[in-house]
């Protein structure tokens, strides 16, 4: 049973230096393992090396159940199996192999040159594609060699390194566990529905998160400990988090739509009776306005109105009171003037009344109630010239 790993690197020499120090056995593919660094550099110089990636670091680890790390025969078998895997996966690449036995399981580090020896082109793609390709080849070779094949757990949502597994066995928490617990606590809150609120909630738990390409990167505040979501597990990857947030937004909109529809259907149509007389197109608006301003509407006419007609608005009532207040002094002044004129014409009126009393036949016709009203707008100016003759 073998597990695989691969990632890109900006320095092939650094990878060789790290792997060569602890190697118990080593071998090469398409290069002399004793001169791995120089031959990798020669190929880059011949074909050119645009970009930063010089090589890819890969690793194959075998189960201690099948191979004892201290057994020389097991070490030789593991190195041969690893070379066969990389020969099938990258037949046209330079590959330097270094076997380590310093852990509980035998594992082989591979430094894969980025340039294809046949085409001169660099490896193109992403590490997900490279890993899947390497996993398929590894499983195939293990079957051919009669070894167990690693079966991934479909319910596994966390990824842990060997160091994490050992610390967990000692019941010692790791900084990655702190990040996982913070993310789990945040995602348990149903009000977290977008990435901004996701960031803000994690910040309160001393975890910073940001987007970096197709990944999310988490970091413990105040430390240099940071990890991509893909390294923490499936539940912490960008795709998983964003899909869950989008699902919550959709569910929230779906739950709000029926409520708005119910409120719209349950509210009866209500009209504002005070606004109806103010509408210019209303049939009763002009008549109502004219009657209130002129003050000619009587109590009988108002009583005869149908019950469905809206009442006169308070604004028109206030306007009527203001008009009454303004016309009051004018009426009083006009009454005083009429009284002055009536006193000036009093001799003529007395004579007319005498004639009326002496003529019994006309007594019933000249009743005071039927006397024509004088025109106040045309006063008699002849009184200024003396008494009438």
In a shared domain, residues 188 and 75 = no
pLDDT value at residue 147: 87
130 contact partners, CB below 8 Å, separation of at least 6: 6, 56, 123
Q: Does residue 112 belong to any structural domain of this protein?
A: yes
Residues 176 and 59 in one domain: no
Burial bucket for residue 167 (CB in 10 Å: 0-12, 13-18, 19+): middle
46 and 82 in one domain?
Answer: yes
Beta-strand relationship, 2-9 and 55-62: antiparallel
CA–CA distance, 220 with 207 (Å, rounded to integer) = 5
Residues 75, 124: one domain? yes
174 and 82 fall within a common domain: no
Residue range(s) defining the domain that contains residue 88: 2-144
- Does residue 34 sit in the same domain as residue 106? yes
Helix axis angle, 238-266 to 175-187, nearest 10°? 20
pLDDT, position 285:
43
Q: How many alpha carbons lie under 13 Å from residue 185 in its C-beta half-sphere?
A: 15
Alpha helix (H) residue ranges in the chain: 12-21, 36-47, 72-89, 127-144, 162-169, 175-187, 195-204, 229-232, 238-266, 283-294, 299-303, 314-344, 346-358
Tokens 């003759």 identify what position?
389
DSSP-assigned states of every residue in 121-150: PBP-S-HHHHHHHHHHHHHHHHHHTTPPPP
pLDDT at 100: 94
DSSP state of 45: H
Residue 310 inside a domain? The answer is no
Regarding whether 136 and 197 lie in a shared domain, the answer is no
Residue 86's CB is within 10 A of a number of other CB atoms, namely 25
Domain boundary among 234, 254, 274: 254
Assigned domain for 387 exists: no
| Residue 123, domain member (yes or no) | yes
Domain ends where: 207, 230, 254?
A: 254
Neighbours of 204 (CB within 10 A): 10
Residue 368 belongs to a domain = no
Give the pLDDT score at 175.
Answer: 85
- Candidates 108, 105, 85; CA nearest to 97 is 108
Q: Are residues 192 and 114 in the same domain?
A: no
Say which CATH number the domain at 7 has.
Answer: 3.30.930.30
Same domain, 24 and 93: yes
Last residue of a domain, one of 84, 112, 144: 144
- The pLDDT score that the predictor gives to residue 83 is 94
Kindly give the confidence (pLDDT) of every residue in the chain, 389 residues in length, as a single tens digit, with 9 standing for 90 and above. 577 778 888 899 999 999 999 899 999 999 999 999 999 999 999 988 777 889 999 999 888 888 988 999 999 999 999 999 999 999 999 999 999 998 888 999 999 999 999 998 888 766 667 888 888 899 899 889 888 887 665 555 556 666 666 666 677 678 888 898 899 999 989 899 999 999 999 999 999 999 988 889 999 998 888 888 888 888 888 988 998 898 888 887 877 665 555 555 555 444 444 444 444 444 444 444 444 444 444 444 444 444 444 455 676 677 677 767 766 666 676 677 767 665 555 555 545 444 544 444 444 444 444 444 444 444 444 444 444 43
Tell me the C-alpha to C-alpha distance, in Å, between residue 140 and each of 64, 81, 135, 310. 20, 11, 9, 90
Do 136 and 198 belong to one domain? no
CA 181 to CA 205: how far, in whole Å? 10
Domain assignment present for 35: yes
Q: What is the pLDDT of residue 103?
A: 85
Do 136 and 167 fall into the same domain? no
Domain match, 34 and 140 both: yes
Please state the pTM of the whole predicted model. 0.46
Cβ atoms 25, 75 nearer than 8 A: yes
- Tally of domains within the chain: 2
pLDDT at 126: 65
Q: Which residues of 44-60 are buried (b: 16+ CB within 10 A; e: fewer)?
A: beebebeeebbbbbbbb
Q: For residues 26 and 33, is the Cβ–Cβ distance under 8 A? A: yes
Half-sphere exposure of 89 (CA within 13 A, CB side): 29
């Amino acid at each position: 049973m073998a597990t695989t790993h691969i990632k890109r690197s900006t320095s092939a020499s650094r990878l060789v230096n790290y792997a060569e120090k602890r190697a118990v056995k080593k071998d090469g593919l398409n290069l002399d393992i004793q001169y791995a660094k120089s031959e990798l550099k020669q190929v880059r110089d011949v074909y050119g090396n645009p970009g930063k990636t010089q090589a890819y670091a890969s690793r194959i680890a075998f189960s201690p159940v099948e191979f004892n790390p201290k057994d020389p025969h097991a070490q030789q078998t593991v190195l041969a199996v690893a070379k066969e895997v990389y020969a099938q996966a990258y037949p046209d690449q330079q590959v330097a192999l270094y076997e380590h036995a310093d852990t509980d399981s035998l594992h082989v580090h591979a430094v894969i040159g980025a340039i294809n020896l046949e085409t001169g082109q660099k490896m193109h793609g992403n590490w997900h594609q490279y890993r899947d390709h390497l996993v398929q080849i590894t499983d195939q070779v293990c079957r051919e060699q009669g070894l167990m094949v690693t079966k991934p757990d479909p319910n596994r949502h966390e990824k842990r390194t060997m160091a994490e597994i050992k610390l967990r066995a000692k019941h010692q928490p790791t900084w990655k566990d702190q990040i996982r617990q913070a993310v789990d606590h945040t995602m348990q809150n149903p009000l977290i529905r977008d990435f901004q609120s996701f960031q803000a909630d994690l910040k309160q738990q001393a975890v910073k998160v940001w987007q970096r390409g197709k990944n999310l990167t988490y970091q413990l505040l105040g430390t240099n400990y940071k990890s991509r979501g893909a390294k923490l597990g499936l539940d912490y990857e960008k795709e998983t988090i964003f899909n869950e947030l989008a699902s919550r937004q959709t569910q929230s909109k779906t739950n709000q739509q029926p409520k708005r529809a119910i409120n719209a259907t349950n509210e009866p149509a209500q009209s504002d009776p005070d606004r109806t007389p103010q509408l210019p197109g209303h049939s009763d608006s002009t008549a109502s306005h004219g009657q209130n301003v002129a003050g000619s509407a009587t109590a009988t006419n108002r009583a005869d109105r149908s019950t469905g007609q809206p009442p006169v608005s308070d604004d028109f009532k206030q306007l009527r009171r203001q008009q009454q207040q303004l016309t009051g002094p004018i009426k009083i002044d006009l009454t005083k003037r009429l009284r002055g004129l009536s006193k000036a014409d009093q001799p003529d009126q007395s004579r007319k009344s005498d004639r009326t009393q002496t003529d019994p036949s006309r007594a019933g016709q000249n009743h005071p109630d039927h006397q024509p009203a004088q025109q106040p707008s045309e006063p008699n100016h002849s009184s200024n010239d003396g008494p009438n003759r």
